[in-house]
Every structure is written in C-alpha cells, then in structure tokens.
Chain A
Amino acid sequence: MSFEEKLLALEEVVKKLESPEMGVDEGVKLFDEGVKLSKECYEILHATKGKITIIKKELNEVVEKPLKE
C-alpha cells in the first residue's frame, strides 16, 4: 500500500471506531489495525528524506550533485 492508500485506510478505521455502533471486540481489533497503519505512515515519512541537489556542468555534461557536501 502507498502512503496515500494507508492514509485512506486509516481514515476508514477511525470513522468506524468513532461510530456509536462499534462493538468492543471489533473495536479493539480495529484500533490495533489503526495503530499499525498510523505507525507505518509515520515510518514512510521519516524513512524517505528528500535529496537536496544542485545542477552542475561538468565536461559538457549536466550532473546533479548534493548541494552541501
């Protein structure tokens, strides 16, 4: 699942949990699922850190180098 899909799934879980008809047993199961999804989303955010690069011309070739070495 992509970040967006996980986020959507999490939203579904929260909506279900917030509904007054939610039973206790099912609620606990859903809650665990929601915690897992939220954790995974945060992990995706923390794991992928954007690169910061600069375009340089070297020997008539354009290359991308880290901005701060």
Chain B
Amino acid sequence: MMERNLLSVTQLNTYLKNIIDSEMLLKNIAVVGEVSGYTVVRGIAYFTLKDENGILNCVLFNANDYETPKLGDKVIITGSPAYYMKGGKLTFQANKLESYGLGELYKKFLALKEKLEEEGLFDAKYKKPLPKKVARIGVVSSETGAVIEDIINVVTRRNSAIDIVLYPVKVQGEKAEYEIAKGIEFFDDYNVDVIIVARGGGSLEDLQPFNTEVVARATFNCKKPIVSAVGHETDFTIIDFVSDLRAPTPSAAAELVVADYIAQIDRLKSLTNRLIYSETQKINLLESTLKNYSINIYNFVQNLLFKKESKLDLLTNSLGKLNPANLLLKGYAKLELNDKPVNSIDELSLNKEFTARLKDGKIKAIVKEIVKK
C-alpha cells in the first residue's frame, strides 16, 4: 500500500477552524444579502442570507432586539464567520442586523416629518424666545446616565443660583414617548421657566421615542420654551424641528439656557477688574504726579537756595571790599569826632580836637587850618 498523509476529520476540521478563527480580515465584518428561513429559538435567530450566486448560514444572538425581517428583505449583518466542527458547517455569527437602504423606521420618520411640516409645526413663527431671566429649569430626561449629570455640571459650574428640576422618564424602548410627552405637559403647568428635553446618543431605534407624533405635539402645544438636545450633534429628531431651540448636545442645551446668567457673571467679573484697574491706575498716576511735584519743588528750592547763596557770596564779597578796615590797610585814616566819623569839614572848626584812626592805632589831633574846596 502506498504511503499517504492521512488526516482525520477532526484534524481537518480543527485546521479549517484555526484558519478561519485566526484570520483577522474576517473579524467584525458587514455582509449584505436577502433573508430567508428566519426563525427565532430562545432569542437566537437562525436564517440564511442569499444573493444570486450562493447562500450563507447565519445566527443572530440578540434577535429580540430587532424586528423580524420579512422573507427576501435585503439586510446588512455585522459579525464574524465561525466554523462548527460538529456540524462541519460555516456559520456567520451576527450581533447586529440592519435593513439595507431606507429602513422602515427611517421611512416612518420621513413620513411623519413631512406630515408635521405641512401642518406648520416647524414654523419659525411659533418658536418662542428663551427667557432672559431663568430661575428654574425643568429637565425631561433619564434619571440615570450622563445627560442629567452634564446639565447639572454646566449649570452649577459657576456657583449657579439656578434650580434644576428633573422629570425622570424612560428615554428609549416601549412607551417611552408617552412618558416624555407627559413630562413636557407636566412642566408646562409647573414652576419652571424653561424646559430641556434631552437624551444622549444612540441608534435610530434608540432615538425613536423622540421621533413620535405624541412627543412632537406635546412639544408644539407647550406654552413654555423648550430646548431639545437629543442624540449626537449629527442626529436630528422630530422634536428638534418642533422645539423652540435645538441644541447639539445636552451640555450645549444647558449653556444656552443659562447664557444670560453666565453673561451677567462675566459682566460682574469684568466690572470688578475695571474698578480695581481704574483705581490702581489712578493711584499710580497720582503717585507719579506727586513724585514729579516733589522733584520740582526740590529743584526749585535748590535753585532758589543756590541763587540766594551766590547772592550772599556776592554780598559778602562786596561787604569785605567795603569794610573800612581794608581802607586803613591801604594807608588811609579815618577821622572821628566823639567816636563818630567825620564826613565833612563843616563838622570841624579851628583848634578842635579830633581822632585820626590808622591801621595800627589812633592819634589825637587839632585842626590847624580849614580849607574849603
């Protein structure tokens, strides 16, 4: 017998399974095809996906999350293929099922949008402006999750005096739209100044309650201004068209509602800064003026003193020159009569005794002759 390499079924199956399991290109892929043989057993759907050339066996694990597709519906499933050794079969394990092209929900959305638009529910003339003074905000949203947290954070970030009242509702799933509509109606007659209707991001199915006529009508009929913030920035829901203002996110909705309040706080800050600045500036100016003044005064006084001093010097100098003692040094004599200087010959007469003062002493003398000039 010729020697051949023989594989057991298990060996080959294991080999095939390993190849498929290790192929990264096959992980989490989306496949499109037409559905047939869709049956659900204990929450798991078994079906085949076909196109003109072949079929693919599929399972969908969370089948209860999806509406049952009809025979021949074109769908997109997302997941990875797996090889079952026991059955010797390749099966695509899907975790997501979407309809291909316009889904039923989307068609419904468009139809409702068109209907309400025709009725005028989206008209700009019905849009109410947001109140300038907001003391209380009513929020229609889920009690749990990031949405209410985000809104609280934005509003309280600035030591806000604004109250937040939450009307807790289911934001997805069955009958959620009735709770949301009821929340809006409740706040319409309650002590709040403005209403925020908010929900975080999600699939079209998740956002469905906000795409319902009951929520649209409650929003339209509400006498108080409503800000809607549903889904991500790119999601538009029916309530966004009816509400008085659409915010891209719940945080943005809160920002819009408290904008005036925040503006006032900013004004206070800026005014306080200006107050302090104007005063410091004034004080600085005053200080430098005073400094200048004192420098001027100092200079002035210095100058004055200098002038006086030089004048004094001059005077002292002249004084020195004028000192009669200096004249005596030059050989002049000073005549005195009874200790008073003699300035004229008229003060003297013949044989009158007088004193002549010289640099080194005095002499007594008698007038011998008077010659008048």
Q: A interface vs B, CB < 8 Å? A: 3-4, 7, 10-11, 13-14, 17-18, 22, 24, 27, 31, 34-35, 38, 41-42, 44-46, 48-55, 62, 64, 67
Contact = CB atoms under 8 A, between A and B. Distances in A.
Interface of B: 143, 148, 152, 155-156, 158-168, 186, 264-265, 267-268, 271-272, 274-275, 278-279, 282, 286
Given A38-B271, A51-B163, A53-B163, A27 B168 contact: no
Nearest to B143: A54
Given A11-B271, A45-B158, A53-B164, 11 more contacts: A3-B264, A7-B264, A10-B272, A17-B282, A35-B275, A38-B275, A45-B265, A51-B164, A52-B166, A55-B165, A62-B186
B168 A14 contact: no
Given A31-B279, A52-B152, A14 B274 contact: yes
B96 to A, nearest CB: 35
B302 to A, nearest CB: 28
Contacts of A42: 268, 272
B272 A38 contact: yes
Contacts of B265: 45
Contact of A31 (B156, B161, B275): B275
Given A24-B286, A38-B268, A45 B164 contact: no
B161 A45 contact: yes
A39 B314 CA distance: 66
